[in-house]
Amino acid sequence: MEMESRRLNNSDIPKILRETSAVLTALAESTGEIEKIADTLVAAYKRGNKMVLFGNGGSASDAQHLATELLGGFTNHNRKSLPALALTTDTSALTAIGNDYSFDEVFSRQVQAMVNPGDVVIAISTSGNSKNVLKGAEMARVRKATVVGFTGADGGKLKAISDLCLRVPSSDTPRIQEAHITVGHIICAIVEQAVAEPA
């Protein structure tokens, strides 16, 4: 039986915008974890370490987006590039690992090769239960990196294996992803201001 899709009507638009606003307002009441994540990244960059990110789907896009903000320039385009790596961009690696091992290993194999002690690994999963993200985070712990989870609701299994965990107070995937990119931009701004050197 074919599922009916419901067309959004005009009243849905302000409702969605209010829902997004409510999630961000709830996050604004508790900014301590965001500050800790930013401080952890600043300290890592000052030591000469890097940021590594990964996730699936929209979270893969967020990983690439945030890596690019620090590799390029976020608000300061007259600074040196900061090392940031999204493990979601190499289609040859993703398909080879997925084919030869399993899709659950697509991040952990890359983490094993690319992550060094002292790096900061940002594992993004709106549910906190994506197997490949969890395996990547577990390998990051083996590699003695700091694991930062970006998730939602109760944090899922990712919360337990993260050193720091941003939990967006929502179980709605679009609202969680919107909050992730907003917080990611805040963190990029703090890091850029704290450690950027002139180009």
Q: What is the pLDDT of residues 4-27, one digit of tens each?
A: 566 778 789 999 999 999 999 999
Instruction: Give the pLDDT band (50/70/90) at residue 1.
Output: very low
Q: What is the pTM of this model?
A: 0.94
Q: Two tokens at 102?
A: 């399993």
Q: Two tokens at 114?
A: 């690319």
**Residue extents of the structural domains in the chain:** 32-195
Evaluate whether 159 touches 137 at the Cβ level (below 8 Å): no
State the average pLDDT over residues 60-64: 98
pLDDT score, position 103: 98
Rounded mean pLDDT of the chain? 95
- C-alpha 13/C-alpha 102 separation (Å) is 40
State the average pLDDT over residues 60-69: 98
State the average pLDDT over residues 156-185: 98
The per-residue DSSP string of 17-49 comes to HHHHHHHHHHHHT--HHHHHHHHHHHHHHHHT-
Instruction: Give the pLDDT band (50/70/90) at residue 192.
Output: very high
- Cross-strand partners of 167: 151
Collapsing DSSP states into helix, strand and coil, what is residue 144?
coil
Give 26-46 pLDDT, tens digit per residue. 999 889 999 999 999 999 999
CATH of 32-195, one of 3.90.330.10, 3.40.50.1000, 3.40.50.10490, 3.30.365.10: 3.40.50.10490
pLDDT score, position 53: 98
Give 91-132 pLDDT, tens digit per residue. 999 999 999 999 999 999 999 999 999 999 999 999 999 999
Percent of the chain with pLDDT over 90: 91
